[in-house]
């Protein structure tokens, strides 16, 4: 597998045009996310350039556009806020070090081929998590949207200061913010094909602010330093090193989830299949470089990726083109952005927050599954008001517990003990005759399906309810997998039967199931000649142990039935 993405020039026009269009879409978002994070607009631009370039070069999804995204910005905002509060001198440098750590974690995830596992979490958890991030992004934009500085304390601080913010609205900046939202929401689809609404809003509202409110004091971006970034060397605080590592792991994991979900969307549009582990390595390299350059962390961006594909891009050349165009802006044209009002960027970020909300699932979650809806809303609440890691951890734990409980209930129905030929399990005629011959002295213990740990209760329950018998037949013919906890429950049943003087026969244990039993030392209680490939042979052996004369009778009856079955309706043998 080559390290870099396969790049060719057979689709040069489509890739260049896709990269240019994606750059136009990315510019206002990069500025908005940079300001929203607290690291400054230039951090958003550096993040868009560094993550976009290296993820395209080394990633595993050719048409994926990587840049600072809403979810990554929300987490980065909390990191910048906490780091600068605890260490005003080096807090921002430590926040960029966390970005580097996130990149390193992503590289490790890719090297150890964990890509296919990262998105294996219930949709109710993903939906609640993403919607919670959307709510956070919306709340954080309230202050700049109404022309006020952000209060301290993050989301809780914003909620507590909401009455004060609304009482001191700056009318001019609020109007500019509303005009930004109006352009983004109401722009006709025909125009959207040629010009991204975010860029149109950025230009139009900035011009309006200069023409009509030139003499009014409005908070603007201000001067952005042009030129190459200064390298940010890793900076640690002994007291916060553990927090930084945890934040780096959380940021890296979120970037993986965000990226791989977007890569799936890219696959559906291009009819291709991305390489998830390679993509994580590319994203990790991009975030590592972005942190070194003082840029925001990034991930696969749905909007940029869709625009890139729809305008004809097919290879990673489009992502490289987009990054180089943004680099030109940083090096030579950053001065043009100094007049952009902060309220405009708040309006753009507010729209991103609204788009992150999973409206489709929010509207019907309670109809689809009440438990799923409770999990989703619980994760949303924890994400907004407690902590992102706590939200995901609690959500995944509860969802998995409920799933295991449901699977255990279903599997428990396939744990049966019978002593005669009833309808509990399907027996053929010969098996029924053999079981009837035993007069209830043979106990058939039938298990079916994967024996996960939740089924151990059912095994123990049936075991404790076992009737008196001389022979226990344990039928594992339909058991493809035997877990440790279920194995222990089976071991207890076999031990008790052995201690009570019963003979134990095992049917259908093969491959890994038999290996698991052997590792538990079952052979001490069940000799090798008591293992059978099918139930008929085991029943014959069991009947011979409890009623030797019945075997011959059952065999003769079986042979007679076979002869009758071989005779056609006219009495002639076939």
What pLDDT, on a 0 to 100 scale, did the predictor assign at position 566?
Answer: 45
Q: Band of the pLDDT at 418, cuts 50, 70, 90?
A: low
Q: Band of the pLDDT at 565, cuts 50, 70, 90?
A: very low
| CA atoms of 66 and 54, how far apart (whole Å) | 9
For 487, how many CA atoms within 13 A lie in the half-sphere containing its CB? 17
Q: What ranges in 161-312 are assigned the alpha helix state H?
A: 162-167, 171-186, 189-192, 197-212, 241-270, 276-292, 302-310
The answer on pLDDT for 571 being more than 60 is no
What pLDDT, on a 0 to 100 scale, did the predictor assign at position 422?
Answer: 52
Q: Band of the pLDDT at 241, cuts 50, 70, 90?
A: very high
Same domain, 132 and 190: yes
CATH number reported for the structural domain that contains residue 524 in this entry: 3.30.750.24
- Which has more confidence, 195 or 549? 195
The answer on pLDDT for 464 being more than 90 is no
**Domain membership flag for residue 520:** yes
What pLDDT, on a 0 to 100 scale, did the predictor assign at position 570?
Answer: 34
**Domain membership flag for residue 306:** yes
Same domain, 121 and 143: yes
Same domain, 442 and 344: no
Give the number of domains in the chain: 2
The answer on pLDDT for 467 being more than 70 is no
Helix (H) or strand (E) segment spanning residue 345:
helix 342-356
| pTM strictly above 0.85 | no
The answer on pLDDT for 188 being more than 80 is yes
Q: Which two tokens stand for residue 213?
A: 């409110």
Q: What mean pLDDT do residues 283-288 have?
A: 97
- 3-class secondary structure per residue, 203-229: HHHHHHHHHHCCCCCCCECCCCCCCCC
From the number of C-beta atoms within 10 Å of its C-beta (0-12, 13-18, 19+), residue 60 rates as buried
The domain in which residue 373 lies consists of 12-360+367-401
Quote the mean pLDDT of the chain: 85
> Among residues 96, 33, 100, which one has the least CA distance to residue 68?
33
Q: What is the percent of the chain with per-residue pLDDT over 90, rounded to a whole number? A: 41
Same domain, 380 and 424: no
The answer on pLDDT for 440 being more than 80 is no
**Domain membership flag for residue 491:** yes
The answer on pLDDT for 549 being more than 70 is no
Other CB atoms within 10 Å distance of the CB of residue 374: 16
What pLDDT, on a 0 to 100 scale, did the predictor assign at position 562?
Answer: 46
**Domain membership flag for residue 5:** no
Q: What is the percent of the chain with per-residue pLDDT over 70, rounded to a whole number? A: 89
Same domain, 470 and 330: no
From the number of C-beta atoms within 10 Å of its C-beta (0-12, 13-18, 19+), residue 20 rates as middle
The answer on pLDDT for 34 being more than 50 is yes
- Where is the domain boundary, 342, 377, 401? 401
What pLDDT, on a 0 to 100 scale, did the predictor assign at position 552?
Answer: 52
The answer on pLDDT for 453 being more than 60 is yes
**Domain membership flag for residue 18:** yes
What pLDDT, on a 0 to 100 scale, did the predictor assign at position 435?
Answer: 79
Same domain, 348 and 449: no
**Domain membership flag for residue 574:** no
Q: Band of the pLDDT at 406, cuts 50, 70, 90?
A: confident
| Cα Rg, the chain, nearest whole Å | 33
Same domain, 397 and 480: no
What pLDDT, on a 0 to 100 scale, did the predictor assign at position 388?
Answer: 77
Same domain, 378 and 422: no
pLDDT in tens, 83-111: 998 889 899 999 999 999 999 999 999 99
Same domain, 443 and 393: no
**Beta bridge partner(s), residue 504:** 472
What pLDDT, on a 0 to 100 scale, did the predictor assign at position 316?
Answer: 93
pLDDT in tens, 483-496: 888 888 888 888 88
């Amino acid at each position: 597998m080559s390290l870099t993405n396969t790049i060719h020039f057979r689709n040069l026009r489509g890739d260049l045009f896709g990269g240019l269009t994606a750059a136009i879409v990315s510019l206002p978002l990069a500025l908005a996310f940079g300001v929203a994070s607290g690291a400054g607009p230039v951090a958003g631009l550096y993040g868009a350039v560094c993550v976009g370039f290296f993820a395209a070069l080394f990633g595993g999804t050719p048409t994926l556009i990587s840049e600072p995204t809403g979810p990554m910005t929300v987490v980065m905002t909390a990191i910048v806020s906490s780091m600068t509060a605890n260490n005003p001198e080096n807090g921002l440098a430590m926040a960029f070090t966390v970005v580097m750590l996130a990149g390193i974690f992503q590289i490790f995830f890719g090297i150890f081929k964990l890509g296919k596992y990262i998105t294996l979490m219930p949709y109710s958890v993903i939906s609640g998590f993403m919607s919670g991030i959307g709510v956070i992004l919306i709340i954080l934009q309230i202050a700049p949207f109404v022309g006020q500085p952000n209060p301290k304390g993050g989301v809780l601080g914003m909620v507590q200061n909401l009455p004060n913010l609304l009482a001191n609205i700056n009318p001019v900046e609020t109007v500019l913010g509303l005009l930004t939202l109006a352009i983004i929401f109401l722009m006709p689809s025909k125009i959207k094909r040629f010009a991204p609404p975010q860029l149109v809003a950025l230009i139009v509202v900035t011009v309006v602010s200069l023409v009509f409110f030139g003499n009014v004091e409005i908070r603007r971006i201000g001067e952005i330093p042009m030129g190459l970034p200064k390298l940010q060397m890793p900076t640690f605080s002994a007291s916060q090193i553990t927090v930084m590592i945890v934040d780096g792991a959380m940021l890296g994991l979120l970037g993986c989830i965000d990226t791989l979900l977007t890569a799936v969307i890219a696959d559906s549009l291009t009819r291709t299949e991305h390489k998830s582990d390679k993509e994580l390595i590319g994203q990790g390299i991009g975030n590592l470089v972005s942190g070194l350059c003082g840029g925001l962390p990034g991930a696969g961006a749905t909007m940029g990726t869709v625009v890139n594909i729809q305008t004809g891009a097919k290879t990673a050349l489009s992502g490289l083109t987009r990054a180089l165009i943004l680099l030109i802006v940083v090096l030579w044209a950053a001065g043009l952005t100094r007049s952009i009002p902060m309220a405009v960027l708040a309006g753009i970020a507010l729209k991103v927050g609204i788009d992150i909300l999973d409206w489709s699932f929010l509207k019907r979650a309670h109809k689809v599954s009440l438990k799923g809806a409770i999990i989703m809303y619980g994760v949303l609440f924890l994400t907004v008001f407690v902590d992102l890691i706590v939200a995901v951890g609690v959500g995944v734990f509860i969802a998995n517990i409920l799933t295991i409980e449901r699977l255990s209930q279903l599997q428990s129905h396939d744990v049966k003990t019978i002593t005669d030929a009833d309808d509990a399990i399907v027996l053929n005629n010969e098996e029924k005759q053999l079981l009837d011959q035993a007069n209830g002295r043979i106990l058939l213990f039938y298990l079916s399906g994967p024996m996960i740990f939740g089924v151990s209760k059912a095994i123990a329950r049936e075991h404790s309810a076992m009737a008196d018998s001389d022979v226990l037949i344990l039928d594992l013919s339909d058991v493809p997998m035997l877990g440790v906890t279920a194995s222990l429950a089976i071991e207890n049943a076999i031990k008790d039967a052995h201690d009570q003087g019963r003979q134990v026969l095992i049917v259908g244990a093969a491959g890994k199931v038999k290996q698991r039993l052997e590792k538990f030392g079952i052979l001490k209680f069940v000799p090798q000649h008591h293992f059978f490939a099918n139930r008929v042979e085991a029943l014959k052996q069991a009947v011979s142990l409890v009623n030797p004369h019945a075997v011959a009778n059952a065999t003769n009856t079986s042979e007679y039935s076979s002869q009758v079955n071989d005779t056609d309706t006219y009495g002639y043998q076939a």
